[in-house]
């Protein structure tokens, strides 16, 4: 049961597949839509749990999760003065300068391709369930926004085999 839970957390939208680390909690039963805030203490505890799971199982996916959290902590949560920040806010500023929840963490297919190029972008879109309609819905109306929360659309090992 523990590994099934860790697998589901690592595959879903709770896990930031691009930037590393985990969002604070999920707002839906499928663990797709997170509350986009990231907390230092949550990620520290999750890094320890995934490291322990890796040491017990040898599952390379757990090692990759630990490395992603570690890199995120160093890049995003370490201050120049040597301390650590406690959290990253859920809100990001949009083009008009207004705070919008999760904007930094949701993507359109075009944004993915612009960020990493055509070949890698198409691969990422396939592996992480990115669609034109989007899987992220407006909180008030429930309508599709055209933005996506990356999640593993299937086991990574199966996707790798498909590409061979």
Break the chain into its structural domains and give their ranges: 1-89, 106-164
The beta-strand segments (E) located in the chain are 25-26, 34-35, 38-39, 87-88, 91-93, 99-101
pLDDT digits (tens, 9 = 90+) for 131-163: 999 999 887 788 888 999 999 977 777 877 887
Predicted TM-score (pTM) of this structure: 0.89
pLDDT digits (tens, 9 = 90+) for 81-106: 999 999 999 998 988 999 988 999 99
Does position 21 have pLDDT exceeding 80, yes or no?
Answer: yes
| CA distance to 38, 84, 125, per residue, from 87 (Å) | 6, 9, 28
Which of 118, 1, 15 has the alpha carbon at shortest distance from 61?
Answer: 15
């Amino acid at each position: 049961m523990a590994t099934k839970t860790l697998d589901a957390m690592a595959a879903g939208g709770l896990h930031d597949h691009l930037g590393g680390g985990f969002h604070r909690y999920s707002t839906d039963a499928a663990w797709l839509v997170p509350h986009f805030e990231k907390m230092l203490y949550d990620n520290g505890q999750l890094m320890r749990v995934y490291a322990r799971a890796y040491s017990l199982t040898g599952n390379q996916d757990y090692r990759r999760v630990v490395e992603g959290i570690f890199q995120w902590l160093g890049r995003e949560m370490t201050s120049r003065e040597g301390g650590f920040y406690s959290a990253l806010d859920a809100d990001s500023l949009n083009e008009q300068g207004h705070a919008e929840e999760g904007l930094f963490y949701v993507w359109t297919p075009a944004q993915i391709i612009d960020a990493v190029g055509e070949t890698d972008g198409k691969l990422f879109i396939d592996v992480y369930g990115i669609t034109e309609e989007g899987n992220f819905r407006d909180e008030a109306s429930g309508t599709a926004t055209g933005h996506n929360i990356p999640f593993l659309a299937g086991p990574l090992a199966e996707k790798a085999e498909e590409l061979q």
